[in-house]
Structure 1
């Protein structure tokens, strides 16, 4: 958690994998494309991840702000699906525990209320389910509303 501010949204999960595997899944666009619940293609260039829609448009952009290798990633969260939503900031915190990894997801600077099971909360839950499934089984699985793979 940032020392001076409290996240607008926070969740954690535990994943049976190595620290290297979790780091790679969070930072390699090829792996990210395998489990992201909406974006089937993610590209990376010069510190910027671009999340593409199925038709090739831009769904979202995430600019890398800070990393601590294998333990922390901080990025912008710039939604392009709704241009009226301001950019916010996300932090992924990776902590090794015996036999598994703890992943904390923090989302800051949201300009709307977080409602459990809806919107940003639902999106992070679906994203985390895909990540966990991908790392624990090797299966590329998208947990979206349509149930697509």
Structure 2
């Protein structure tokens, strides 16, 4: 079972038209043949994350109020923030800020919500990444990154191997 969809909306430019709230939003939905618990573990475990997130890993204890960071393989901080909500194995909300690209850092914080639902023999993963800024360059950037990361995650969980096992850099 396989289905996925990505959509970005923001003000002008490649992201699309402005929303009523003045937000820029990216939504991606995919169905993965796994269990909610296995998907949660893949989303929060360093060993899994490094395999599908191009060598990057999270540093976090995954409790609401805890600090969170996403780091390159060499340890540099790519993104950081805080866990807003953690409801294993069904919902995770992260306050998220890019740390390595000055133009994205300047846009401020975004919110990323990961919703996990059992649907028949699969799990539906919905990632909603938004920022209270129309035409966000950050949301435009994640709209290119999330599909690659989530395709890797889906393939890894279903086959045991990542689709694109490359290491990320900030180049």
Q: Shorter-chain TM-score: what band?
A: 0.7 to 0.9
Question: Structure 1 residue 101: deviation in Å?
Answer: 0.4
Partner SS state of residue 108, structure 2: coil
Return the alpha-carbon distance in structure 2 between the equivalents of residues 119 and 67 of structure 1.
25
Q: Answer yes or no: is 1:19 the counterpart of 2:36.
A: yes
Partner of 1:43: 59
Change (3 A) 1:31 1:100: same
Residue aligning to 1:84? 106
Whether 1:75 and 2:94 are equivalent positions in the alignment is yes
Indicate conservation of the 8 Å contact 2:26/2:129, yes or no. Answer: yes
Q: Does 1:125 align with 2:147?
A: yes
Provide the alpha-carbon RMSD of the alignment: 2.7
**Structure 1, residues 67-93: CA drift from partner, whole Å, max 9, x if none?**
222111001111112232311001011
- In structure 1, what is the equivalent of residue 131 of structure 2? 109
d(CA) in 2 for partners of 1:26, 1:138:
15
**TM-score, scaled relative to structure 1:** 0.78
**Gap runs ≥5 in structure 2:** 1-20
Q: Please say if residues 36 and 142 of structure 1, whose CA atoms lie closer than 8 Å, have aligned partners that are also in contact.
A: no
Contact 1:34–1:140, Cα closer than 8 Å, also in 2: yes
Q: Greater CA radius of gyration, 1 or 2?
A: 2
Task: Quote the Cα distance in structure 1 between the aligned partners of 2:97 and 2:155.
Answer: 25
For each residue in 1:29-66, what CA deviation from the matched residue of structure 2 results, as whole angstroms up to 9, or x when unmatched?
322222114x5333225733322223321111242111
Q: List runs of 5+ in structure 1 lacking aligned partners.
A: none
TM-score by length of 2: 0.69
